[in-house]
């Protein structure tokens, strides 16, 4: 990729660049979100930014996996001075209380951590949730590194990286702008079996299928289930996906990218006949007000987005998306619209 002029404007939702280009961008002012490999994030200068680990991106030239570049999003022009804070698993319940009255809060959480699990379960009950825009993503790692390394998030103001806390940038907006979130979710519950799990977590052995106890890994194998399609729970009309990470036939265990819970009823998603076409058709417009986006690593893999583009919208491909609560196999887009 050709060198980028550090003073040149980025695509609205960010761009891939070298570490040197990113460092110049971060030193040049503004407020930023950065995604990339741990070693690259450690090389960046301190400044007004937060970040997390991931090597998968929708870049300005299309979908790309890279351990050599980082993805930088500069927050909207006109955003007021933000505050950056760490939150542990207990303290994250105050994230919306701490949020600006007008603006948004951008949160990055390390995958498979205790705070990841607690956020997934407890976020809908947070005080002031749904009253103030909360968005962000789950930091991950290269799929080849699963089980060998840990996802991390970083506070750019201090340079500290952590695998057990969330980092949040609270971003106030002026009174004549308002933040708005869009969610792209292709999936709805199918009309198949009713599934309940006997314990919460990122793994499952036993479950109840239509009230009958079975091993879930056996159930998937015996029924030839296509695990590209997630489990879907209906939370008062809101469809929440739980995506499959893998099936360990020897251990008879199923692993997920988000926790399942023992008080929710799941069904397998209705199949999507043409995943790539359906995903492309569901994309929101890339207007001038679009300010930030992330997409799911599984959309990247299953839609064949390597080398492909998703219109004008760019961003990291993540292990989970946040639009108020934890999502899987979705795309989240932030707009900062001017009021009439």
Rounded Cα–Cα distance for residues 160 and 265 (Å): 39
**Nearest by Cα to 330 from 184, 187, 198, 216:** 184
What pLDDT shows up at residue 304? 86
* pLDDT (0 to 100) of residue 8: 52
pLDDT tens across 187-235, in order?
999 999 999 999 988 899 999 999 999 999 999 999 999 999 999 998 7
Task: Check whether 67 has a pLDDT greater than 80.
Answer: yes
pLDDT of the residue at 272: 85
List the helix and strand counts (H, then E) for the chain: 6, 27
Q: Which of 31, 327, 70 is nearest to 173 (CA)?
A: 31
Mean pLDDT to the nearest integer, 295-305: 90
Convert 124-166 into a string of H (helix), E (strand) and C (coil).
Answer: HHCCCCCCCCEEEEEECCCHHHCCCCCCCEEECCCCEEECCCE
Q: Give residue 39's pLDDT.
A: 98
pLDDT in tens, 15-62: 999 999 999 999 998 999 999 999 999 999 999 999 999 999 999 999
Q: Give the span between the Cα atoms of 181 and 112, in whole angstroms.
A: 25
Structural domain spans, the chain:
15-183+277-338, 195-268
Instruction: Provide the mean pLDDT of the chain.
Output: 91
Phi, psi of 246 (to 5 degrees): 175, 165
In this predicted structure, the answer to whether residue 2 has a pLDDT above a threshold of 50 is no
CA distances from 38 to 44, 103, 210, 243 (A): 10, 29, 44, 25
pLDDT over threshold 70, residue 130: yes
- Residue pointed to by tokens 């099936």: 247
Closest among 338, 202, 215, 311 to 261, alpha carbons compared: 202
């Amino acid at each position: 990729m050709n060198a980028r002029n550090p003073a040149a404007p980025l695509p609205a939702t960010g761009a891939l660049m070298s570490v040197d280009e990113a460092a110049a961008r971060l030193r040049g002012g503004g407020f930023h979100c950065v995604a990339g490999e741990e070693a690259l994030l450690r090389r960046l200068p301190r400044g007004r930014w937060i970040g997390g680990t991931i090597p998968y991106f929708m870049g300005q030239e299309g979908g790309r996996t890279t351990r050599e570049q980082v993805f930088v999003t500069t927050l909207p022009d006109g955003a007021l001075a933000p505050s950056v804070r760490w939150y542990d698993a207990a303290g994250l319940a105050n994230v919306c209380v701490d949020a600006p009255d007008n603006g948004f809060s951008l949160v990055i959480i390390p995958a498979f951590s205790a705070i990841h699990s607690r956020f997934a379960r407890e976020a809908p009950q947070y005080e002031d949730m749904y009253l103030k825009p909360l968005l962000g993503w789950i930091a991950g790692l290269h799929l080849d590194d699963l089980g060998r390394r840990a996802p991390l998030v970083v506070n750019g103001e201090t340079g500290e990286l952590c695998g057990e806390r969330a980092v949040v940038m609270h971003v106030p907006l002026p009174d004549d702008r308002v933040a708005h979130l869009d969610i792209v979710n292709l999936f709805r519950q199918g009309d198949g079996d009713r599934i309940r799990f006997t314990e919460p977590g990122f793994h499952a052995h036993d479950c109840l299928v239509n009230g009958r106890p079975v091993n879930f890994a056996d159930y998937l194998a015996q029924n030839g289930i296509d695990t590209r399609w997630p489990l879907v729970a209906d939370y008062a009309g809101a469809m929440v996906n739980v995506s499959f990470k893998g099936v360990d036939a020897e251990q008879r265990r199923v692993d997920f990218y988000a926790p399942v819970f023992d008080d929710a009823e799941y069904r397998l998603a209705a199949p999507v006949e043409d995943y790539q076409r359906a995903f492309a058709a569901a994309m929101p417009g890339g207007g001038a007000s679009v300010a930030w986006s992330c997409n799911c690593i599984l959309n990247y893999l299953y839609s064949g987005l390597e080398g492909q583009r998703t219109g004008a919208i760019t961003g990291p491909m993540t292990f989970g998306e946040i639009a108020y609560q934890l999502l899987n196999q979705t795309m989240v887009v932030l707009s900062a619209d001017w009021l009439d």
